[in-house]
Amino acid sequence: KNQVEQSPQSLIILEGKNCTLQCNYTVSPFSNLRWYKQDTGRGPVSLTIMTFSENTKSNGRYTATLDADTKQSSLHITASQLSDSASYICVVRGGTTDSWGKLQFGAGTQVVVTP
C-alpha cells in the first residue's frame, strides 16, 4: 500500500478560481514533505518543502499546509491560471534529524485549468 495518498486523482477548474489538493501519508518517522509541479512531458519541479516544525509555506499563488499530527498536507492554488495545468505530486521523506529515510511519492493530482 502506498504510504502517500493524494486526492482527488484529477480535477478541472475554471481560470481564476481557487482549488485545494490533499495529501495523506503514513510515513513515520517523518522528516519533511514537499510538493512538486510536473508539466506534461517535463520533470517534476519543487514548489515547497516543509519540515515537521513548519505548518504553512507559500510560493507565489501556491500555499502548502502541513499537519504532522494528523499526517495531512494540502496545496492551495489561488486565482488559477492556464499555466497551472499540470500534475501536482506530494512527496514525503521519512527519517530522523540524524538520518534520512527514502522518499515516498504520491501518484499525483492532475489539474486542468480551463478558460
The identity of residue 45, as a single letter, is V
Q: Are strands 109-114 and 10-14 parallel, antiparallel or unpaired?
A: parallel
- 107 dihedral zone (left: phi>0; alpha: psi -120 to 50; beta): alpha
Q: Is 55 in the site for other proteins (CB under 8 A)?
A: no
Residue 68 near other proteins by CB under 8 A: no
**From the CA atom positions of the chain, what is the Rg in Å?**
14
Closest approach of other proteins to the CB of residue 115, in Å: 27
By CB under 8 A, name the one of 22, 51, 63, 78 that touches other proteins. Answer: 51
User: Considering only 20-28, 40-48, 60-68, 75-83, which stretch makes contact with other proteins by CB under 8 A?
Assistant: 40-48
Among 1, 69, 83, 97, interactor with other proteins by CB under 8 A:
97
From the CB of 79, what's the least distance to other proteins, in Å? 27
Task: Report whether 48 contacts 56 (CB < 8 A).
Answer: no
